[in-house]
Amino acid sequence: MDIMSLAFYVILFLLAFMIARIILKIMRGY
């Protein structure tokens, strides 16, 4: 696996993690 695809997956994982945290925060707020 090259560095570029590895970095892409890491960025994708971080984005998904932040979105999941935002969704959890919104669901807990209501």
User: Which pLDDT value is given to residue 29?
Assistant: 81
DSSP code, position 1: -
pLDDT at 1 over 90: no
User: Which pLDDT value is given to residue 7?
Assistant: 97
pLDDT tens figures, 2-26: 999 999 999 999 999 999 999 999 9
For residue 4, give both structure tokens. 């570029």
Going from N- to C-terminal start, the domains of the chain cover: 1-30
User: Which pLDDT value is given to residue 14?
Assistant: 98
Cα–Cα distance for residue pair 6/9, rounded to 1 Å:
5
